[in-house]
Amino acid sequence: MIGRNSSDNSKYFIFYPAIALLFFIFVCLFAWINLGHLLTRNSMTKVYYAGYITPTHQNIIDQFNATNDDQIEVVPINYLSLTNFNTNQRKELLIRALRSKNSNIDIVSLDDIWIARFAKWSEPLEKYFSMDELEELLPAALQSCFYGSHLVAIPFYIDVGLLYYRIDLLSNLPNWESIEQKLKKSITWEELLLLQKYFKGNKNPFFVFPPNRDESLMCVFWETIASQNRSRLLDKQIQIRSPEARKGLQFLVDLVNKYHVMPDSILQMNEAETFDYAIKNDAVFFRGWPGVLNDISINPDIDESKFGVAALPHFEGHDYASVLGGWNLMVSRHSRKKEAAVQFIKFITSQKIQEQLFEELYYFPVREAVYSNSFFIDRHPELIYFQKLLESGCNRPAMPDYTQVSDILAYHVHAAIRQEMSTDEALAQAQIMIEADEVLVK
């Protein structure tokens, strides 16, 4: 449903009915934590960290707490484990908590596209990190942590879009070695589609990308634009009706409806479901993030040796480009334990912990030293290749209302792929909505 803003506040806030319940759960959780704090009468500084807590995250927290015995204790709040709520709903939960000036939240883990939206609640971090410390971080990762003239976050890990391919399905093709070399360097879309002729009689989907109306589809759309002209993503006033946007969207429409690279049944699947579908149905190629490598490696039913990763394809005559992703760490402006919070951030972004995160979760490190550590590279030579891909990556537009704009675009891009409207109509309607400051009510 499409609606128009009624106030400045609604400009940046899309109300989901489920948020009220989620916020209530969040408040109760903090109340329980604070009660436990009072009952223990422990004088140590407790730092509350809201983020996604895997067993690896918990292990790292335990390491930090052990080294700071009787001084600092990090208490994890696993808000991203609320699986009945999508990413945007979890984001709105955090906005409510921070807007209320809640001092119980000290550190928040944020998607890099949220940074501009959360900057007003962030403690400026310039005074806590020297220039030497910042220069030790990957420039591509650090770029998303600035808003205006302030450093408002520190990168936790970085992502880059990857092309997954099935070695076992492709290795019998003529000139396979030459094909794989092209894949690694970034094959052109034109060359990739020529390979489809070898799989015409098979039931395997040829190329799978997440096509549902969410941010995962937007990443694919941005990549089609950036691979023609990456400066388009640097423009704060996104030109949706640009020639690059039209060519990019028409190409996505053609992938599904002209080249039939994947079945229509995928069009309503979310990103995680498309990954699962691509793997289970032997897709020849699919677009994914580094985290899929971890999913493949820990699944005993999947033969990891069948999968290769490469740079995403590009249009002939243009350069390779891939959208960067990842998560950053922000210290709340209302925290009463900022120094302790920064101490934990420096620990979790240290070389040792960044190496652990890569080995256990395939989180791409944000610290330069990891990529130059010869002992670590000997164990993980693939990191050299990944570093090259990161250097060619590009960030999505840094806008406070990015989610609002992205929702509008994803809705219309998805509609065009489903052929519910033409490419020109989809882009025109999206541009009108964005310029009129309208929102999508889900």
- Read off the pLDDT of each residue in 174-180 and give the average, rounded to a whole number: 95
Residue type, 89: Q
Q: Which residues pair with 177 in a beta bridge?
A: none
Q: What was the pLDDT predicted at 134? A: 97
Evaluate if residue 11 carries a pLDDT over 50. no
The residue that leads in pLDDT, 174 or 82, is: 174
- Which of 153, 132, 157 has its CA nearest to residue 144? 153
pLDDT tens, position by position, 120-161: 999 999 999 999 999 999 999 999 999 989 999 999 999 999
Q: What was the pLDDT predicted at 12? A: 38
Tell which phi-psi region holds residue 48, choosing left (phi > 0), alpha (psi between -120 and 50) or beta.
beta
Evaluate if residue 42 carries a pLDDT over 70. no
Evaluate if residue 86 carries a pLDDT over 80. no
What is the distance between the alpha carbons of residues 324 and 42, in angstroms, rounded to a whole number?
42
Residue with tokens 């927290």: 61
Evaluate if residue 13 carries a pLDDT over 50. no
Terminal C-alpha separation, the chain: 7
What is the distance between the alpha carbons of residues 400 and 359, in angstroms, rounded to a whole number?
34
Q: What was the pLDDT predicted at 9? A: 44
* Residues whose CB falls within 8 Å of the CB of residue 366, separated by 6 or more in sequence, listed in order: 137, 138, 141, 142, 155, 156, 157, 158, 326, 349, 354
Residue with tokens 């149905």: 281
Q: Where do you find CATH 3.40.190.10 in the chain?
A: 14-158+325-379, 160-323+400-440
pLDDT tens, position by position, 378-398: 999 999 999 999 998 998 888
- Read off the pLDDT of each residue in 214-241 and give the average, rounded to a whole number: 83
The residue that leads in pLDDT, 22 or 114, is: 114
Beta carbons of 18 and 85 less than 8 angstroms apart = yes
111-115, 127-131, 382-386, 401-405: least confident range: 401-405
| SS3 of residue 159 by DSSP | strand
pLDDT tens, position by position, 314-368: 999 998 999 999 999 999 999 999 999 999 999 999 999 999 999 999 999 999 9
- Which of 303, 261, 309, 307 has its CA nearest to residue 289? 309
Give me the phi and psi of 27, to 5 degrees please.
-65, -45
78-87, 107-116, 378-387: least confident range: 78-87
Q: What was the pLDDT predicted at 309? A: 97
Band of residue 3 on the pLDDT scale cut at 50, 70, 90? very low
Evaluate if residue 302 carries a pLDDT over 90. yes
Q: What was the pLDDT predicted at 237? A: 61
What is the distance between the alpha carbons of residues 380 and 343, in angstroms, rounded to a whole number?
28
The residue that leads in pLDDT, 6 or 283, is: 283
Q: Is domain 160-323+400-440 in CATH 3.40.190.10, yes or no?
A: yes
Evaluate if residue 88 carries a pLDDT over 50. yes
Evaluate if residue 49 carries a pLDDT over 50. yes
Q: What is the CATH number of domain 14-158+325-379?
A: 3.40.190.10
Q: What was the pLDDT predicted at 236? A: 57
Give the residue ranges of DSSP H helices in 12-163.
17-40, 55-67, 87-99, 115-118, 131-135, 139-142
Give the residue ranges of DSSP H helices in 45-114.
55-67, 87-99
The residue that leads in pLDDT, 234 or 225, is: 225
Q: What was the pLDDT predicted at 18? A: 55
Q: What was the pLDDT predicted at 245? A: 93
Band of residue 414 on the pLDDT scale cut at 50, 70, 90? very high
Give the residue ranges of DSSP H helices in 119-214.
131-135, 139-142, 167-170, 176-185, 189-194
What is the distance between the alpha carbons of residues 341 and 48, in angstroms, rounded to a whole number?
8
- Read off the pLDDT of each residue in 88-98 and give the average, rounded to a whole number: 80
Q: What was the pLDDT predicted at 2? A: 45
Please, how many CA atoms are within 13 Å of residue 338, restricted to the half-sphere of its CB? 17
- Read off the pLDDT of each residue in 20-40 and give the average, rounded to a whole number: 52
- Which of 64, 138, 143 has its CA nearest to residue 370? 138
- Read off the pLDDT of each residue in 39-59 and give the average, rounded to a whole number: 83
Band of residue 69 on the pLDDT scale cut at 50, 70, 90? confident
101-110, 174-183, 352-361: least confident range: 101-110
What is the distance between the alpha carbons of residues 333 and 386, in angstroms, rounded to a whole number?
35
Averaged pLDDT of the chain: 88
Band of residue 199 on the pLDDT scale cut at 50, 70, 90? very high
